[in-house]
């Protein structure tokens, strides 16, 4: 266990989400203004105008996603509960830790988290994006924003910064997911019978073809979970939230459910494999829309494994991840900018998916 008397700040990064229907458009605008999402020749000149156009149009199309889950995203509440629980656990284990939340596209923004870190007088930092697998569109974007906001200040001159870029191989994290899957499977008369359908947020193939490791890490996560869970169920992987005409990771969630129905499957357990908290993509897209599709296709039972949220096992995983990070060498640069540029997406189609936080 890493022990230090120095005040350690742990920053939990998430995408963020609109907390009201009125916040959807400005949330989308912030996302479309992200240079790690929208990048093209002369983007600095045209990005804001394009962001305004797309966010205005897109906000009308996605309001129903948020309406069916109560009118706003719960991702901030879940992330703040994770932060409080992690802080308590780290302090219980003897670490002088404070935890902060930095959302990429909605409050509390990264700059707000930085102000809190400075006010707390933290002398060492762990940056912890809550994305188990790395993608330039998620972890990369969050860390780049931190670099932009945090690097132009003398406060950074002597403060060690440790960075977590992935944690999908952490065994306690895997166990926390296995626990949620087992809870969902237990709701079936025969837990060994339903198809396990792992679902991850899709990204354009253009992102993957530029070297983004996301797809390979998602596939490895599924393999590790099947080994860890020891399930004999049939399983497959799909992707959700595709928007636009460009090529994205396949197959889609909708296509996979239709294929299962055609194969005479009548029970399915959907496992969100790239998220660590319930939000509009799980509560709306899976538990509402996909559930209705399954009903129309003739499935007799549809279950979704719950988000990790602030489950004790997941918090224990985060605690271990933070303490291991403190033992790693300090990063002189949060994310190498040349590497980030090579990884980042230059396809506006990706941004149109951002109506799903």
The pLDDT tens digits of the residues spanning 186-233 come to: 999 999 999 999 999 999 899 999 999 999 999 999 999 999 999 999
| pLDDT at residue 116 tops 50 | yes
| pLDDT for 173 | 98
| pLDDT for 350 | 37
Listed range (69-73, 110-114, 147-151, 260-264) with the worst mean pLDDT: 147-151
| pLDDT for 37 | 66
Greater confidence (55 vs 299) lies with 299
| pLDDT for 240 | 96
CATH class, range 8-167+312-355:
alpha beta
| pLDDT for 160 | 93
| pLDDT for 154 | 61
Listed range (114-118, 163-167, 287-291, 329-333) with the worst mean pLDDT: 329-333
- Distance separating alpha carbons of residues 333 and 161, to the nearest angstrom: 9
Average pLDDT score, the chain:
89
| pLDDT at residue 351 tops 60 | no
Which CA distances in Å does 254 have to 205, 239, 281, 305? 19, 9, 13, 17
User: In b/e form, how buried is each residue of 242-276, taking b as 16+ CB within 10 angstroms?
Assistant: bbeeeebbeebbbebbeebbeeebbbbbbbbbbbb
Report pTM. Answer: 0.90
Band the pLDDT of 22: cuts 50, 70, 90: very high
CA torsion through residues 214, 136, 14, 10, sign? positive
Band the pLDDT of 54: cuts 50, 70, 90: confident
Largest Cα separation within the chain, whole Å, is 63
Q: Where are the domains of the chain?
A: 8-167+312-355, 171-304
CATH 3.40.50.1400 assigned to domain 171-304? The reply is yes
Band the pLDDT of 2: cuts 50, 70, 90: low
| pLDDT for 48 | 84
| pLDDT at residue 38 tops 80 | no
Cβ–Cβ under 8 Å, residues 49 and 7: no
Average pLDDT over every residue of 141-154: 84
| pLDDT for 276 | 98
DSSP conformational letter for 302: E
| pLDDT at residue 250 tops 60 | yes
Band the pLDDT of 142: cuts 50, 70, 90: very high
| pLDDT for 168 | 98
| pLDDT for 12 | 98
| pLDDT for 43 | 56
- Distance separating alpha carbons of residues 178 and 189, to the nearest angstrom: 19
| pLDDT for 243 | 67
Which CA distances in Å does 256 have to 132, 262, 274, 296? 23, 10, 17, 14
Listed range (8-12, 227-231, 343-347) with the worst mean pLDDT: 343-347
Average pLDDT over every residue of 240-254: 88
Q: What percentage of the chain exceeds 70 in pLDDT?
A: 86
DSSP secondary structure string for all residues of 253-290: HHHHHHHHHHTT--EEEEEE-S-SS--IIIIIIIIIII
Domains 8-167+312-355 and 171-304 share a fold: yes
Band the pLDDT of 335: cuts 50, 70, 90: low
């Amino acid at each position: 266990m890493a022990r230090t008397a120095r005040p350690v700040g742990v920053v939990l990064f998430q995408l963020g989400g609109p907390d009201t229907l009125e916040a959807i458009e400005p949330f989308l605008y912030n996302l479309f203004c992200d240079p790690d999402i929208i990048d093209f020749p002369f983007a600095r000149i045209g990005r804001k105008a394009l962001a305004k156009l797309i966010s205005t149009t897109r906000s009308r199309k996605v309001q129903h996603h948020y309406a069916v889950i109560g009118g706003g995203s719960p991702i901030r509440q879940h992330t703040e509960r994770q932060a409080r629980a992690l802080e308590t656990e780290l302090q219980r284990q003897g670490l002088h830790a404070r935890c902060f939340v930095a959302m990429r596209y909605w409050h509390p923004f990264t700059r707000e988290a930085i102000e809190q870190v400075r006010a707390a007088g933290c002398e060492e930092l762990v940056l912890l994006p809550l994305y188990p697998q790395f993608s330039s569109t998620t972890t990369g974007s969050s860390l780049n924003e931190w670099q932009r906001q945090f690097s132009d200040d003398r406060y950074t001159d002597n403060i060690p910064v440790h960075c977590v870029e992935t944690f999908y191989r952490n065994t306690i994290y895997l166990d926390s997911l296995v626990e949620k899957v087992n809870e969902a499977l237990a709701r079936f008369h025969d837990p060994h019978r339903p198809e396990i359908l792992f679902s991850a947020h899709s990204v354009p193939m253009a992102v993957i073809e530029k070297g983004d490791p996301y797809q390979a890490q998602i596939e490895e996560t599924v393999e590790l979970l099947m080994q860890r869970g020891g399930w004999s169920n049939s399983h497959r992987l799909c992707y959700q939230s595709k928007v636009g005409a460009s090529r994205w990771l396949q197959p889609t969630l909708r296509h996979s459910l239709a294929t299962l129905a055609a194969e005479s499957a009548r029970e399915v357990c959907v496992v969100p494999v790239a998220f660590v908290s319930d939000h509009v993509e799980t509560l709306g897209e899976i538990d509402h829309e996909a559930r209705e599709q399954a009903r129309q296709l003739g499935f007799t039972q549809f279950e979704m494994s719950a988000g990790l949220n602030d489950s004790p096992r997941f918090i224990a995983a985060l605690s271990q991840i933070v303490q291991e990070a403190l033992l790693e060498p300090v990063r002189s640069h949060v994310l190498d900018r040349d590497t980030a540029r090579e990884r980042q997406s230059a396809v506006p189609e990706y941004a149109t998916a951002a109506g799903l936080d």
